[in-house]
Amino acid sequence: MNRRTVLQSLGSGALFVSAGCTEVITKARDISSTSGPSTTTTSEPTTTRSTVTTTSDVSDRTLSVTRTVKHGQTGLTRVLRVQEGGNLTYELECPDGRTKSASDELPEDTWTKFKRLVINAEVKDFSAEYECTGDCPRDVPPTRLTFEIDGQSTDVLIAATADIPESLKAILTELASFEEQLALPTCEE
């Protein structure tokens, strides 16, 4: 068999497979337009369509998230805790050793949304450390997140400007919005 014959055979086989796929896709579209996201079976070639949902019932899960930022040279330590039930606590440790705090409670729907976000993020799969690459700022301290889900603890250290997963960015964004709700204390009297 010469090269041209082999290539023609491969080309016609690909068209045959492609035509079969087009027919299955067309049938799948026809079926999906008449039914919802559940499994559907027809008397012709069977087509199955399923949907994956990431929302889970989180009511029976326990969660606590702590964000800690230590400012080495300034002596400040800022700790934000979100605990089961939406209890929000912010602690500021001043250079002179004094600790000041503020607290609040998240609305139930906000707490449930945050809890779902964290649990669906699969935090146990995060890296233990996200490092900055390239031109890294030296004056911005890293952030440490501690997740406790159903008694299991996971620590994640995040350097400033590190490349992190979108789900981790979403968690940090939510924590920053919670912090904005509080009347934050300062070390000045």
List the domains of the chain with CATH numbers. 1-52 (no CATH), 63-181 (3.30.1560.10)
Say how far apart CA 145 and CA 128 lie, in whole Å.
10
- Phi/psi at 99 (5° precision): -120, 130
Q: Which of 13-22, 71-80, 81-90 has the lowest mean pLDDT?
A: 13-22
115 within 8 A of 34, measured Cβ to Cβ: no
Q: Provide the pLDDT for residue 16.
A: 37
Model pLDDT, residue 140: 87
User: Residue 37 carries which side chain, given as an amino acid letter?
Assistant: P
Mean pLDDT of the chain: 77
Whether 104 shows a pLDDT value over 50: the answer reads yes
User: What's the pLDDT score for residue 56?
Assistant: 63
Which pLDDT band, with edges at 50, 70 and 90, does 42 fall under?
very low
Q: What is the pLDDT of residues 112-165, one digit of tens each?
A: 999 999 999 999 999 999 999 888 888 889 999 999 999 999 999 999 899 999
pLDDT recorded at residue 135: 86
- Residues in contact with 159: Cβ distance below 8 Å, sequence separation at least 6, in sequence order: 129, 130, 131, 132, 136, 142
- Report how far residue 40's alpha carbon sits from residue 38's, in angstroms, rounded to the nearest whole number: 6
